[in-house]
Amino acid sequence: MDFGPSSPPSGAASTKIVVAGGFGVGKTTLVGAVSEIVPLRTEALVTNESAGVDNLSNTPMKSTTTVAMDFGRITLADDLVLYLFGTPGQKRFWFMWDDIIKGAIGAVIIVDTQRLDEAFAAVDYFEAKQLPFIVAINEFDGAQRFPAEDVREALALPVDTPVIAIDARDRNSAKAALIRVTEYALERVTSQSTSAARY
């Protein structure tokens, strides 16, 4: 079986990025779209057992769900490789998030504007962990579009938190989100180092 490039470029720095968000917002899709290796997926069929546990009303066509994590890899440059870890979206699997984020430099929170209320838990989580994150609005087919600033205001995000629109199915769009969160994480580190040097 071909798993793509067997190893990242020699001498490349590796970085961990977390892809998070609610149930069915496009986390698995984004990791699969951008990964240069066959992504590891821990998906299970959605069955009647989830009735009353998972809210499937907004995702009636979804037949599988991530029960542990998604994993992928993308080489952004000769000297930078990102390892992607997608979190499970259902509340009953959130206990895994603390382990998944260990060593990460940042996170992409994917949101669906039709279910924006489901994004608050992820936003609160990463703010509490003080892990830099961006918000990526997954523009589903047929969904109403909203300006990024409206989404920022609705989620009560600080003005410096990046909010961008993406298509999780499109490799270039997904890659742009990963580049943005990497840049933002580096900006935060630089800013904190500069502030520390003043005192």
pLDDT for res 27: 94
Instruction: Select the more confidently predicted residue: 11 or 32.
Output: 32
Tell me the CATH number at 79: 3.40.50.300
Phi, psi angle pair for 67, to nearest 5°: -110, -5
pLDDT at 132 over 70: yes
Instruction: Select the more confidently predicted residue: 140 or 153.
Output: 153
Lowest mean pLDDT among 44-48, 144-148, 193-197: 44-48
Q: What are the strands, taking DSSP E only, across 22-176?
A: 40-45, 64-77, 80-86, 104-111, 133-138, 163-166
CA 185 from chain centre, in angstroms, equals 14
Number of folded domains in the chain? 1
The answer to whether residue 5 sits within a structural domain is no
The answer to whether residue 6 sits within a structural domain is no
pLDDT for res 47: 47
The answer to whether residue 199 sits within a structural domain is no
Per-residue pLDDT of 146-163, as tens digits, reads 999 999 999 999 999 999
The answer to whether residue 2 sits within a structural domain is no
The answer to whether residue 118 sits within a structural domain is yes
Question: Is residue 18 a contact partner of residue 108, using CB atoms and an 8 Å limit?
Answer: yes
Q: What pTM did the predictor assign?
A: 0.81
Residues in the chain: 199
The answer to whether residue 101 sits within a structural domain is yes
The answer to whether residue 186 sits within a structural domain is yes
pLDDT at 62 over 60: no
pLDDT at 61 over 60: no
Residues spanned by the domain of 96: 13-193
The fraction of the chain above a pLDDT of 90, given in percent, is 60
The answer to whether residue 4 sits within a structural domain is no
